[in-house]
Chains A and B, each alone.
Chain A
Amino acid sequence: MLTVDHIRKEFGKVRAVSDVSFEIPTGITFGLLGPNGAGKTTTMRMILGILTPDAGTITWNGKKVDGTMRRRFGYLPEERGLYGKMKVREQIAFFGRLHGMVEPEISKRANSWIERLEIGQYADRPCAELSKGNQQKVQVACAAVHEPEFLILDEPFSGLDPVNADMLLAVFNDLKAKGTTLVLSSHQMWQLEALCERFCIITAGENRASGTLADLRAAWATRVLRVAPGDDAVRAVLDRVPGATFVTTDQDSVDYAVPSNTDFSAVLKALVGAADIHRFDAIEPSLHDIYIRTIGEVA
């Protein structure tokens, strides 16, 4: 388990991270969310040991993260970079060596990644000659060639076409299946919602919400009740639900916001008695909704 405990980091007069804490159980995929400038990258850099926290501690399986441990970590930064003139295969092998791998394991792993990411035709070409998407695949290979215990991926899907995004998604799931703990930072909420088991939302250098999606939803005070048809008889029933407020309607249905502790069975019974109901959904808030509201509350 990775434990981030009340870390703080300042650059001169600028406080990049004020107070961030979360726990990431081993083997899960963790989503780190926050607007630009929230302190996500600084937090990631502190986890990786690139920066030292001014206060607080970061431990991996109970031990403080150090240089030796870092060898077992992997990182795909948001700003991509490769040696332009170095060949793809050499580049992947170089990062393997940096993480303590030796031949013949390096060549075997490099070839395996080249095959897995379908970049065999570029393997012996300089990286600068590759398209942006293919360069990104090479970077993923560089970050994960040593099959890290812990892998941080900052915006791994940005700039990728849907086919390549799906390919990387499959790669990350494979890594997770092999036991790698993944940390994802992305502004593509639907991807995070599909991939991650736990989340932390950071704003202005502090974490505002954290836990599983169920935990985050449990803290959400209302649900959206979507009922069809949305005629007057239905609306009359919904208007009588304690705490219910009208949200919107269209030709077929009507949406009401109701308290999350509403007795939905009782409401459904009342509706069936009043009209011919053919749709009844108690819609949970999406990660996107939770994120927007959390950020909005801070703003």
Chain B
Amino acid sequence: MNDFIVVYSTELMRRIKSRPFQIGLLIGIVSIALFTKLPDLLRNAGSHQTNVVLAAPAAVLDRAKALLANDYAIVATTADATTPNAASLKSHDASAWIAITDAKGLKVVVYAKDPSKNWSTVGRRLAPLNVALATDVSQARLATLMSVPVDVQALDAHFSSAAQADAAEGIAFTLLIFLYMLILINSQLVMSSVAEEKTSRIAELLVASISPVPLLYGKIAVATTLALLQLFIWVTVGLLLGANGMHTGRSIDPGAILAGGVTATEIVSFLILFLLGFGQLSMLMAGLGSLVNRTEDLGSVSIPVVMPVVFAFILAIVAIQVPDLPWIVGVSFVPLVSPFVMFARIAVTDVPIWQIALCVAINLVALWAIAIAAGKLYRVGMLLYGRAPNFKQVWQVIRS
């Protein structure tokens, strides 16, 4: 136990001071800030109003102006029906000239610098005025009649409303990205740390002092601690900035998340599945990292382990949309994949408790098996220099 504590405390300080950790943390914070704020910024950038000049008969000018004011910045109005030219637009610093005439119904001609813009919006906005002129029904009455309220009642007990279901999908997606980033980044840091010790040749001095087992598990424990620290910082930043459900484009109120948008089941399952997934992947990474002789080889060695995680992330996105598809349910029990897919299912639907228990049990067994295999690989790999072992030799070590 003392060996584990010594390795844990030293490795923790070493990793916190290391540049890769600090840069990773910073990149995470910047990414979250971008993810949360970018949609709003883009929306605001996209909603920049076009300056227009509105030309219409005096009888309809004010009412037309009121209907178009939300979509366009009307810089000037006129009753003049003459055809404008480029100089007319320039003199008003406008991009378009909207000319309305009323002869047995409204008719609109738009003289625009950029005709490709969606000018049909002008017609839709003026429709109530057109109907009002034709029927003598008031514009306010028409506005009411043209909007039919729809009340959506959720039958699935998991969510009480459609808005909550949308919010849950957004939260699930956000947490899934956290899960993906934490597991992938930190397990690769474990791998780099192992390879660094081997390539710097300090490994032999270490394993001569203590057993490789506390050395390996100390590293994993440090990586887990740092990942949870990152999670705490990232989530706090996310909540402070106001998380967004990126795929829905809807804003999620941080207060609402804390008040009940994220359920206790989601938080607990997130942490358990994170620990299981991270444990499995980082053990595999550590075992494989001990086999390389040059840090440049880490990329190629990690591919067979990283690919299933990328695949699992894609499956989890599908699971958010269709959580009850039989094959999605099936893969939610497969180790390495299930931490992502099962979490996605838990976040958006009611997963029977026996399925969650079975998933955790399968992953615990997988974690145990991977820990034994990785320990054997690590014990042998750390002292193995020269030509890298082939798959057959690696398999022999695991079976030994």
Chain A residues with CB under 8 Å of chain B are 12, 45, 48, 50-51, 67, 70-71, 73, 75-77, 79-86, 94-95, 97-100, 139, 142-143
**Partner pick for A45 among B209, B383, B385, CB 8 A cutoff:** B383
Supply 18 A–B pairs (Cβ within 8 Å), ascending by A.
A45-B208, A50-B383, A67-B210, A70-B208, A70-B210, A75-B204, A75-B208, A75-B209, A76-B205, A77-B205, A79-B385, A80-B201, A81-B202, A81-B205, A83-B14, A98-B3, A98-B7, A99-B209
7 additional contacts, CB 8 Å, given A51-B383, A71-B209? A77-B204, A77-B205, A81-B204, A81-B205, A85-B14, A95-B205, A142-B205
A291 to chain B, nearest CB (A): 26
Chain A residues within 8 Å of B211, by CB: 67
Do A84 and B201 touch (CB < 8 A)?
no
- Write the nearest CB–CB distance from B215 to chain A, whole angstroms: 9
**Given the known A-B contacts A98-B3, A98-B6, are A81 and B200 also in contact in the complex, defined by CB atoms under 8 Å?**
yes
Residues of B near A94 (CB, < 8 A) are 6, 10
Flag B320-359 by CB within 8 Å of A: 1 or 0 each: 0000000000000000000000000000000000000000
- Are B200 and A95 neighbours in the complex by a CB distance under 8 Å? no
> For B10, what are the chain A residues with a Cβ–Cβ distance below 8 Å?
94, 97
B82 within 8 A of A: no
Measured CB to CB, the nearest residue on chain A to B207 is A50
Name the residue on B nearest A97 (C-beta): B6
Given known contacts A45-B383, A98-B3, A98-B210, A86 and B205 CB-to-CB distance under 8 angstroms = no
List the B side residues contacting A81 at CB < 8 Å: 197, 200-205
Q: Is the CB of B2 within 8 A of A50?
A: no
Known: A70-B209, A97-B10. A79 touches B204 (CB 8 A): yes
Neighbouring A residues of B2 by C-beta, 8 Å: 100
Minimum CB distance partner of B201 in chain A: A81
Nearest CB to that of A100 among chain B residues?
B2
Q: What interface size band does chain B fall in? A: 20 to 34
Give 1 or 0 for each of B184-223: 1 = CB within 8 Å of chain A CB: 0000000000000100111111111111000000000000
Contacts of A50 in B (CB 8 A): 204, 207-208, 383
The residues of A that contact B18 with a CB separation of less than 8 Å are 85
Instruction: Kindly list chain A residues whose C-beta atoms are within 8 Å of the C-beta of B203.
Output: 81
Chain B residues touching A, majority SS: helix
**Is the pair B200, A83 in contact by a Cβ cutoff of 8 Å?**
yes
- How many angstroms between the C-alpha atoms of A143 and B18 in the bound complex? 25
**A95 adjacent to B208 (CB under 8 Å):** no
Residues of chain A contacted by B200 (CB below 8 angstroms): 81-84
Q: Considering only CB atoms, which chain B residue lies closest to A77 in the complex?
A: B204
Task: Note all chain B residues with C-beta closer than 8 A to A99.
Answer: 209
- Within the assembled complex, what's the spacing in Å between the Cα atoms of A187 and B367? 47
Closest to B385 in A: A79
**Given the complex, which residues of B lie within 8 Å of A79, measured CB to CB?**
201, 204, 385
Complex-state Cα separation, A48 to B383, whole angstroms: 14
Partner of A77, one of B14, B201, B210: B201
Task: Determine the chain B residues whose CB is within 8 A of the CB of A100 once the complex forms.
Answer: 2
A85 and B383 CA atoms in complex are apart in Å by 22
Measured in the bound complex, the distance between the Cα atoms of B205 and A48 in whole Å is 11
Partner of A48, one of B7, B208, B396: B208
Please report the C-alpha to C-alpha distance between residue A97 and residue B5 in the assembled complex, in whole angstroms.
10
- When chains A and B are docked, how far (Å) is the Cα of A139 from the Cα of B393? 33
In angstroms, Cα B196 to Cα A83, docked, is 9
Q: How far apart are A99's CB and chain B's nearest CB, in angstroms? A: 6
Measured in the bound complex, the distance between the Cα atoms of B203 and A95 in whole Å is: 12
Residue of B nearest to A93 (CB): B10
Q: Interface centre among A75, A76, A98, by most B CB within 10 Å?
A: A98
In the complex the two chains form, is A82's CB within 8 Å of B202's CB?
A: yes
A118 to B377, CA, bound (A): 40
Interface pair A86/B204, CB less than 8 Å apart: no
B162 to chain A, nearest CB (A): 53
Nearest chain A residue, comparing its CB with the CB of B383: A50
Which of B14, B197, B205, B207 has a CB less than 8 Å from the CB of A139?
B205
Min CB distance A185 to B, Å, is 14
The 8 Å CB contact of A98, one of B201, B204, B209, B393, is: B209
* Chain B, residue nearest A98 (CB): B209
Instruction: List the 7 closest pairs (A to B, CB-CB), nearest first.
Output: A81-B201, A81-B202, A75-B208, A98-B209, A79-B201, A97-B6, A77-B204
Q: Which residues of B contact A77 (CB under 8 A)?
A: 201, 204-205, 208
